Structure formats: C-alpha cells, structure tokens
Amino acid sequence: MARTKRGNGEGSIYQRADGLWAASVSLPPDPLTGKARRRTVTSKSRNVVIGKLRELRAELDRAGDMPTSSPRLSEWLEQWDGRHLATLKPKAASAYRTAIRNYIDPSIGKIRLDRLTPADVHRMHDYITDTRRLSTSTANQAHRTLRKALTDAQRQGIVTRNVATLVSPPPLAVVTRPHLGAQQAASLLYQHRTDPHLALSLSLALLTGMRQGERLGLTWGAIDQDRGIITVSWQLQALTYTHGCEPACGRKRGADCPARRFDYPAGHEIIQVRGGLHLLRPKSRKGWREVPMAPVLAEALKLYRRDHYRPHEHDLVLVRADGAAIPPRQDWQAWKDALAAADLPDLPLHSARHTTATLLHELGVPEQVRMQILGHASATVTQGYTHVAAAEAVAAMGALGRLLDSA
C-alpha cells in the first residue's frame, strides 16, 4: 500500500492496494463503548478524495460529530419505535405507528438515512395524496411523524440534517366539525334529566368540554366545590393486552396469550382499574389543567353524590349503576342512544367538546380563555402549567350554564 506525503490540512490520505485513494478523519469516541471511531471516503482520484475530506472536516466542525454508517429509514423507525414511542400514551403511539406503517415505510422506507433528500419528503406527500388519494391532513400527520423521528436521529448523530424541516408540511384540510346548538344541547339534558348517571355524564361533557377519557377518569378528589373548580388530572383509557410469551404461543391476539400483559408507556403514572381499564396521568404537571364549574353543574354534582353515588375504590365520579367504572365503548354507545332518544342528529361523541367550544365562542369568550378551558396545547406553549380560574373563565362557564339551563 503506497502512501504519499499529504499537504497541510489534507488529513490522512493514502492509496490502497486496490488502487483507490482513501482518506479518513477521527470522530468523537462511541458514547456507549468509548471505542475510537473514524469516517473514511474513497475515490479513484486523489484530488476528489482531497475534496471529500475537506467536506468531511467542514461538516465535522459544524456538527461536532457524524455517523460512521447509515441505516435505512425503515430500520431507524423500528429502533425509534422501541425508544421513543414506548414512552407515549397508547393513542399517541398508535397514531405515529399508523403513519409509519401505512405511509412512510411504503413510500420512502428503503432509502438510507444519509441519502434522504427534500425530494423524498415530497414523494411521501404525493404517495399519500395522489396514490392513496387521502387528505392533506393525513399527509401532514405523516410529515410530523417523519420530522420527529429525524429530529431524534439528528440528536443522536445518526444524520447531520433533518430533511423534513426543509419541506413545508401539507396544509391541514378544512373540516366543518359537527356540534349541537344551544337549544339542542339543552334539549338533550332535559330529555335525560331523570337518569342520574347519564344526566351527570352529559352535563360534564357539555358544560366542561372535557375529553372522554378525562371525563371518565374524573375523581371526587379533583372537584373543589368551594372554589368551583375541576382539576383535570387523570384519563381513563382501555389498554390492549400484548403477548408476554417466550417463545411465541401461536395465538393471534395478545388477549388470548396465556402470559398476556400490558405494555405500559414509560414515565407515566398508571393505575389498573379493572381488566384493560386504566387511569393514566399526564406525563408532566403541565398536562394538567383547571376548569371552572358552572353553578348548575356544581349543584348537580352535589345532588348526585348525596343521592345516587355508589363509592368506587378509585374515587371515580362517573360509574355505572352497579358502581363499576364505565368502559369508553359503553360511554360512546350511551351518547349515541341519548341523541337518538332526544331525536337529535347522530353526532360523534367528540362533538360534545366542539359544542362547548362553539357555545363559548358565541357567548363572546376570548380565544385565550377558551383554549385554557379546553386544554388546547397552543394556549400553554409559553406559559407552562396555567391556572385558569381567572375571573373571565369563571364568568364564561357561568354564562354557559345559564345558557343551557334557560334554552
């Protein structure tokens, strides 16, 4: 192997036995093993190698590190699933996995990370909207998933740039969200006033804007009658069983596995209520929020606890007539049946939350206050954990209660 004297700043340049010119630069040691690492480039031309070496040095000076090898995107996403998605709540992790499985892997998953370009990101967008004929909102979700995965790859030194940040995400599709009007909401509450359990569930849905899991996970300890405040700090979710067998038992469903178990997301406080029903905390205190109670709702809670409540071991407010926790599927069906009994349109359960937001808007409640009441993340990006029991929020919920009570 012949070596020639290199010029100043050229690094280690040499000609290999096969005739190719090669150059290498030293990288920071492997953070896990402490072993030395080098990055090597080759070419038939010595001048080309010199140019490549200078580019390597410039990139190393800029980024501080660089990968020695690059996996395919699909391989990295599989690793990312085990590291990052395992820390998310089941619904959030499921949304990421759906985007990866259905859109990212089929379109660009075979490309090596270090060879990804903005054109590949556009190709993924086109695959979703043109080939699959899905909405730009679906493409937006896939784009955000890819951007997050590549951000983590860049932080670990696996790639030197995140190409997804160089491409604008597809716009979210404009969707008209269904909701009940004030008269319809009042009619729904009136129709079911004699069923104490359903009446309270509907009142919480329409008078607080709480999500289904937040409403089903509400505990009496989170209700401050003196201040007129509900603290949203738990969610009731139905988790699915996964296989715990080794070797594989051969059964298709995790629920049928003799060693079945739950894959709990790391970093979350979780309480098993019954079977697959679990109470999950927000990952941080910033995920909690306070919702002012309309006086009519506060009074309904008092009467319900005095006359109809059956104690629950986890202090849940909403329970079935037999005192058991309410599964989300059963709650969804109760909403559907309640609408049908009141001769109202068949709307999604989440429309109760949109009803709250719409009625607050019609009452002239400022956008910032509405966001805080509903727990929209954009309202708390710069404020962290926000106490929303301000005078305008209390007044807003009081006005909403009076609106539905008199409609």
Query: What single DSSP character describes residue 282?
Result: -
Whether residue 1 has pLDDT greater than 50: no
Query: What single DSSP character describes residue 400?
Result: H
**Hey, which residues does 219 pair with through a beta bridge?**
316
Whether residue 4 has pLDDT greater than 60: no
**Ranges of each domain in the chain:** 12-63, 73-166, 182-233+283-406
Q: Is 187 helix (H, G, I), strand (E, B) or coil?
A: helix
- Of the given ranges (141-150, 244-253, 307-316, 364-373), which has the lowest mean pLDDT? 364-373
| pLDDT tens profile 175-188 | 667 888 888 988 99
0.85 surpassed by pTM: no
Which pLDDT score is estimated for 391? Answer: 60
Whether residue 386 has pLDDT greater than 70: no
Measured from the Cβ of residue 50, the count of other Cβ atoms closer than 10 Å reads: 20
Angle between helices 351-362 and 367-374 (to 10 degrees): 150
Q: How confident is the model at residue 266 (pLDDT cuts 50, 70, 90)?
A: confident
Torsion, CA 200, CA 204, CA 206, CA 207, rounded to 10: 110
Biggest distance spanned by C-alpha atoms of the chain = 94
| pLDDT tens profile 173-224 | 766 678 888 889 889 999 999 999 999 999 999 988 899 999 999 999 999 9
HSE-up of residue 267 (Cα within 13 Å, Cβ side): 12
Q: How confident is the model at residue 315 (pLDDT cuts 50, 70, 90)?
A: very high
Cα–Cα distances in Å, from 396 out to 9, 91, 296, 369? Answer: 68, 31, 13, 8
| pLDDT tens profile 90-114 | 778 888 999 999 999 999 999 988 8
- Of the given ranges (31-35, 325-329, 350-354), which has the lowest mean pLDDT? 31-35
Which of the pair, 165 or 406, is modelled with greater confidence? Answer: 165
Whether residue 246 has pLDDT greater than 50: yes
Whether residue 250 has pLDDT greater than 90: no
Homologous superfamily of 73-166? Tyrosine recombinase, N-terminal domain (1.10.150.130)
Answer whether 279's CB lies under 8 Å from 273's CB.
Answer: yes
Q: How confident is the model at residue 404 (pLDDT cuts 50, 70, 90)?
A: confident
Q: How confident is the model at residue 9 (pLDDT cuts 50, 70, 90)?
A: very low
Nearest residue to 291 (alpha-carbon basis) of 185, 397, 179 = 397
Answer whether 302's CB lies under 8 Å from 183's CB.
Answer: no
Which pLDDT score is estimated for 236? Answer: 93
User: Within its chain, how far is the Cα of 136 from the centroid?
Assistant: 18
Query: What single DSSP character describes residue 115?
Result: G
Which segment, 123-132, 252-261, 271-280, is predicted with the most confidence on average? 123-132
HSE-up of residue 202 (Cα within 13 Å, Cβ side): 26
Which of the pair, 155 or 134, is modelled with greater confidence? Answer: 134
Q: Which residue has the tokens 């909690």?
A: 288
User: Within its chain, how far is the Cα of 178 from the centroid?
Assistant: 23
Which pLDDT score is estimated for 292? Answer: 86
Which pLDDT score is estimated for 284? Answer: 56
Homologous superfamily of 182-233+283-406? Intergrase catalytic core (1.10.443.10)
| pLDDT tens profile 342-364 | 999 999 999 998 888 888 777 77
Mean pLDDT of the chain: 83
Q: How confident is the model at residue 388 (pLDDT cuts 50, 70, 90)?
A: very low
